[in-house]
Structure 1
């Protein structure tokens, strides 16, 4: 509706030139409106921010959250690959202590990443490492230990993998709010599927609301940006992206499942 209103407002009273057609004018106006809606209202430069935190003598921290099965761990590994390509040393914190196989999945990703970027190519430095404490432990505590370890070992970035949870599961949402409040990550990313359409928007809004309700803070850290997965499955159906941008959320990554990055 907002897109239609924007196009209508731009077309109202517009005078067509001699060689202009109605179809071409509507198309160009639609393009202009789409660019305006999709243009971010604020800027997030992860690599630049990481360098700034390095100057302060600490690691940059990113936390990933979302519902079950959207590809948090897989897309965390893809983003990790991008960071390594930019010569960043990464520590992955295995804070999904609930799902069977979650830690083993991250081990496999780390093994593959180190095979793609062996220490020999980076002056003998191991570019990615996994910090794990097994299952059944407090995720917030593991993340806190991982961040301390990263600072001590001079890692550039910490990527915190969390358990998948539904937005209406109060105990798990309280646990996520605790993890974010205790560890104060620099960036909190929500991982959502483009495939589910506007359901992803509903999940995002409810996640943010739950973080605000359960953080027990007057200024809670809410979601900073979105990783939109399975983007290659939606063809020209861009409604979720448009709705997310209209609601002033920042889409930082759009991921294809067919490529490693």
Structure 2
């Protein structure tokens, strides 16, 4: 997922490193340094490891009282152990010493074999030294030096005199990044914002070794993306609970163009909240499209929820109203209103959608967009937001989106949160959107680490 964006980010780091190393070499300001070269994505794992250590420390701090209580029975048990058992315990190390003695004799009998082994082991060491200066070896050779932590032995440089990242070092590289982001269906304002934030974070940084360049670039890009995707907003589950406390159902209206998976998403959400213990009801307010009522009825029957429907061509606002009244009367917590797909340029259908909103008075208006369409989905969301003021976004087919342009852009452009992602074709293939999850997808991936180091 989002492979294209990940490669763009890692290439930016590599280009900046090459730029600074070439300049330092021309200035005679470069020297070999022992150690391991970190890959771009290795810093993502280091962050995760720190979090795990903090969790472990917190758990250890919660156990001091339990340890003190355990100390008393341990002392009592020691007093009850008879002396005979102590003697038996002492005999065991003697046997170990005897076995070690025989091993020593064997070692003395095989000095020649050890010498031969040492000569064989010396050869790979020489190979590693010779490979230090070459960073463009074949992929198979590089993979041998990359550890599970994303570290590669050799290839690390340090600067005799400390260098400072200047605007001239990043200008061309960030321009290339901006163009690549635009080609990857990232919205213009998002690409510009990312590049400006990265530039602000990098320029002026002091660097002593090549690993510093990779680390600073990694965190500059991660911070820039985090700022873009972190749009505040309540989750739908929290809103259901708030409305439930008031004795009212949460009313959600779904809008979007044809073919984005709006009706299927409603079926997935009905299944999602049914499994959480809520009772949804679906309103078949798409009375315009042929087969729409049958389609949403099929999904409702499959997941086992009530559907409120009228005849084809009837007033969609009336269907939505009846569904809300049914939920109130039956004590159901969630109303999901399906509406006809429409292009944002179709004035008549947009006016009809405004009427549905006015009559049903939804708590949430959610735009459903296809992640694969990239910039088109972002522009559609912008138009719908201008027309009826949407409250959130659901992106379908996110699992098949290699570019990631819509996922990165859509929330920032309309300043409304992404609420769910469709990640497959089954009813269970939907997940609540989490910015932290998105960051992890973009900045930590084991398979990509090896590929980028090659």
Q: Give the TM-score normalised by structure 1.
A: 0.86
Long gaps (5+) in structure 2: 1-191, 430-454
Provide the C-alpha distance between the structure 2 equivalents of 1:245 and 1:110, rounded to a whole number of angstroms.
Answer: 29
Select the residue among 333, 336, 342 that pairs with 1:156: 333
For 1:51 and 1:249, how far apart are their aligned partners in 2? 21
CA deviations on 1:17-70 (whole Å, 9 max, x unpaired) are 557331232122211211221112x22121221122122222110000000111
Cα deviation 1:138-161 (Å, max 9, x = unaligned): 111110111011100111100000
Residue of structure 2 equivalent to 1:136: 313
2:194 is aligned with 1:28: no
2:247 equivalent to 1:70? no
* 1:228 matched residue in structure 2: 395
**Contact (CA 8 Å) 2:236, 2:419: kept in 1 or not?**
no
How far, CA to CA, are the matches of 1:229 and 1:80 in structure 2?
Answer: 16
1:195 has 2:362 as partner:
no
Q: CA deviation at 1:204?
A: 1.0
Q: Which aligned pairs between 1:228-247 and structure 2 lie closer than 5 A? A: 228-235=395-402, 237-247=403-413
What count of residue pairs does the alignment treat as equivalent? 236
Partner of 1:95: 285
What root-mean-square deviation, in Å, do the aligned CA atoms of Structure 1 and Structure 2 show? 1.4
**Larger relative helix fraction:** 2
1:63-97: CA deviation from partner (whole Å, max 9, x where unpaired): 00000111100011111111111101000000000
Larger Rg: 2
Determine which of 252, 256, 259 is the counterpart of 2:423: 256
CA distance in 2, matches of 1:246, 1:54: 30
Name the CA distance, whole Å, in 1 between partners of 2:298 and 2:201: 52
CA distance in 1, matches of 2:208, 2:333: 55
Matched residue SS, 2:211: coil
SS in 1 for 2:390: coil
SS, match of residue 82 in structure 1: helix
- TM-score under structure 2 normalisation? 0.50
Q: What residue is the counterpart of 1:15 in the other structure?
A: 206
In structure 1, stretches of 5+ residues that fail to align are 115-127, 212-221
Superposed displacement of residue 185, structure 1: 0.3
Moved more, 239-248 or 70-79: 239-248
Pairs within 5 Å for 1:33-52: 33-40=224-231, 42-52=232-242
Distance 2:212 2:426 in 1: 40
